[in-house]
């Protein structure tokens, strides 16, 4: 029996996400070994969105985290996390929700991102009115071209950082630099691009300290580049997908040796002809922003996903007579993070049996706050 198969699969309805805690621990230990110091690890929990996954990380001494939503920030408070960066610039009602989270979980140190004066002033005003101060990280655009102020050239980032020092209600804590656009399969090329993108961050940090401010903490990278940033003294690393791994990163990052720790289970529900069948793994159970194939079936590696709709996935195989109705396929999604978010719970596998379920708490946009 393969590591991913279940003796009691007949008790598990499909489609389902299955997680394997022992393999998750292996991945956590590998990240720890690469970075060396758990104080320089700030994993992103957008991938799991589960308290139990956070607890596995905490069990290995990791207690700094990064998240993207207010619900994820609240979940980390529920888990008793010591230090949480909301790696998102709160705008509008999100500012007041963040304040509520900060007040509800006083034992957790919260911070957030800013990349412009307008947002910073709004955050500062609300926290000042509540007689609180929240640390903020200046979000830098180092090539992702999504959010962030350019790190250089020019003085805009330095000037904004200095302005943050004089806004009551907030205090600048450091710099945030995400390079999620780097996916070169050749790690040498990826590292060259990573180093080039990070150079302005180093220059900005030096300019900040030269102007008399404390040395800014730098939080950088994601799973594709965390190992490169681990070589930079003092920089905190923020991998996320590593905890479950997926087919997309397995192909794009061949040098990384993480184990698959999350699988989708699906069943054959209809035979179309001698080459095509249908399984119950539709858009609503499998992340679909990627082109096909969106899943790699471990037990049927020559299966080729074709048509995809809300509750159905048509798959081409060499011979459908080998896979009668009811056959279970076990697959690795190309993108695990949004796949997990499509499920309200995941099955927990130990010794080839589903023994429990974990709630995907932070898939909701709102938990209580």
Domain residue ranges of the chain, discontinuous segments joined by +: 9-16+260-362, 21-244
Instruction: Give the burial string for 54-81 (b: 16+ CB within 10 Å, else e).
Output: bebbeeeebbbbbbbbbbbbbbbbbbeb
Q: Which of 28, 25, 34 is nearest to 226 (CA)?
A: 34
Mean residue pLDDT across the chain? 98
In the chain, the DSSP E strands lie at 16-19, 64-67, 83-86, 109-114, 134-141, 149-150, 170-177, 217-220, 236-237, 262-271, 276-279, 295-297, 304-308, 313-316, 328-333, 345-350, 353-359
Say which DSSP state 67 is in.
E
- pTM here? 0.96
Among 310, 302, 295, residue whose Cα is nearest residue 275:
302
Lowest mean pLDDT among 91-105, 149-163, 247-261: 149-163
**Average pLDDT score over residue span 16-24:** 99
Q: Is residue 247 a contact partner of residue 229, using CB atoms and an 8 Å limit?
A: no
Quick one: average pLDDT of 201-226?
97
153, pLDDT greater than 80: no
| Encoded tokens for 202 | 């180093």
- With 80 as the cut, is the pLDDT of residue 157 above it? yes
Residue 152 above 90 pLDDT? Answer: no
CATH topology of domain 21-244: TIM Barrel (3.20.20)
Question: pLDDT for 80-132, tens place per residue?
Answer: 999 999 999 999 999 999 999 999 999 999 999 999 999 999 999 999 999 99
pLDDT category at 5 given cuts 50, 70, 90 is very high
- Strand bridging mode 217-220 / 170-177: parallel
Does the pLDDT value for residue 354 go beyond 90? yes
Over range 179-201, report the average pLDDT. Answer: 97
Residue (of 65, 98, 91, 93) closest to 79 by Cα position? 65
Q: With a cut of 80, say whether residue 236 has pLDDT above it.
A: yes
Alpha helices in 211-350 (DSSP H): 226-229, 247-252, 336-341
Structure confidence at residue 168 (pLDDT): 98
pLDDT at residue 154 in the model = 78
**What band does 362 get if pLDDT is binned at 50, 70 and 90?**
very high
Give the tens place of pLDDT for each residue, 266-297: 999 999 999 999 999 999 999 999 999 999 99
Give the separation between CA 56 and CA 76, rounded to whole angstroms.
Answer: 13
Distance of CA 277 to the CA centre of its chain: 33
Query: Where do runs of H (alpha helix) occur along the chain?
Result: 21-35, 51-59, 70-78, 93-104, 117-129, 156-164, 187-210, 226-229, 247-252, 336-341
The dotted CATH code for 9-16+260-362 is 2.40.37.20
What average pLDDT does the segment 198-202 reach? 97
């Amino acid at each position: 029996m393969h590591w991913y198969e279940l003796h009691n699969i007949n008790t598990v309805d499909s489609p389902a996400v299955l997680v394997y805690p022992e393999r998750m621990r292996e991945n956590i230990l590998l990240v720890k070994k690469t970075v060396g110091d758990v104080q320089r690890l700030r994993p992103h929990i957008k991938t799991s969105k589960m308290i139990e996954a956070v607890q596995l990380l905490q069990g290995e001494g990791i207690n700094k985290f990064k998240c993207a939503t207010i619900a994820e920030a609240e979940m980390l408070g529920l888990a008793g996390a010591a230090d949480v960066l909301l790696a998102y610039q709160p705008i509008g009602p999100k500012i007041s929700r963040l304040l509520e989270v900060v007040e509800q979980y006083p034992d957790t140190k919260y911070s957030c991102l800013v990349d412009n004066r307008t947002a910073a002033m709004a955050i500062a005003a609300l926290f000042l009115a509540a007689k609180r101060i929240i640390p903020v990280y200046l979000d830098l655009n180092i090539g992702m071209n999504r959010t962030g102020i350019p790190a250089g050239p020019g003085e805009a980032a330095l000037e904004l950082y200095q302005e943050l020092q004089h806004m009551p209600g907030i205090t600048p804590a450091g710099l945030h630099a995400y390079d999620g656009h780097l996916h070169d399969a050749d790690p040498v090329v990826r590292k060259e691009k990573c180093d080039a993108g990070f150079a302005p961050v180093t220059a900005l940090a030096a300019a900040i300290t030269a102007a008399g401010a404390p040395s800014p903490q730098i939080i950088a990278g994601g799973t594709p580049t965390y190992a490169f940033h681990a070589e930079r003294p003092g920089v905190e690393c923020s991998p996320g997908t590593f905890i479950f791994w997926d087919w997309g990163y397995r192909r794009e990052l061949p040098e990384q040796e993480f184990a698959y720790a999350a699988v989708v289970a699906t069943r054959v529900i209809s035979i179309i002809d001698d080459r095509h069948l249908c399984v119950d793994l539709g858009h609503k159970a499998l992340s679909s922003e990627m082109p096909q194939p969106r899943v790699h079936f471990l037990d049927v590696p020559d299966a080729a996903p074709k048509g995809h709709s809300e509750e159905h996935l048509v798959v081409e195989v060499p011979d459908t007579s080998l896979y009668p109705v009811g056959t279970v396929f076990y697959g690795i999604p190309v993108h695990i993070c949004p796949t997990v978010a499509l499920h309200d719970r995941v099955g927990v596998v130990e010794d080839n049996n589903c023994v429990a379920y974990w709630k995907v708490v932070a898939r909701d946009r709102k938990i209580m706050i």
